[in-house]
Amino acid sequence: MEHGGSSHGRDQRTKLNAGDIAAMTKSTIEKIKHRKLLGPNTVLSYHDMNSVGYGWLLPGWVAEERRVESGRIYRYYYGPDGKYYLSQKQVLEAFKQLGVIVLDT
């Protein structure tokens, strides 16, 4: 993922490295972890753009999986500001609002 813009006609882009992405993920998790109300025997895991199946997330966005005792998995998504989304569709709509174009390949 690249970010940046142009200044005086020159393109000044910087690539995010794994450390940058990890720091952004950690920052998001810090904002949301105090909200957790988990039932007994619920297993909680977090995923970011480097996790299998979540490569579509932007840096700083986090998917939370809650596996309950019955085996069912509930997924929630969080933006870098800590706002939560209930579905991938809602996240993609939020990306649109940010001006991000998502292509399904």
Residue 60 lies in a domain: yes
Residue 6 lies in a domain: no
Residue 66 lies in a domain: yes
Residue 56 lies in a domain: yes
Count of alpha carbons within 13 Å of 37, Cβ hemisphere only?
0
Number of domains in the chain: 1
Going through 8-85 in order, the beta strands assigned E by DSSP cover: 10-15, 43-47, 62-67, 73-78, 84-85
CATH number for position 41: 3.30.890
Per-residue confidence band for 5, with pLDDT thresholds at 50, 70 and 90: very low
Residue 61 lies in a domain: yes
Global pTM value: 0.78
Query: What is the average pLDDT value for the chain, to the nearest integer?
Result: 84
The residue that leads in pLDDT, 83 or 3, is 83
Residue 8 lies in a domain: no
Domain of residue 61, residue span? 15-97
Residue 48 lies in a domain: yes
> Looking at the predicted structure, is the pLDDT value of residue 34 above 90?
no
Identify the CA nearest to 14 among candidates 6, 24, 4. Answer: 4
What do you get for the CA distance between the two ends of the chain, in Å?
Answer: 17
Task: State mean pLDDT over 79-104.
Answer: 92
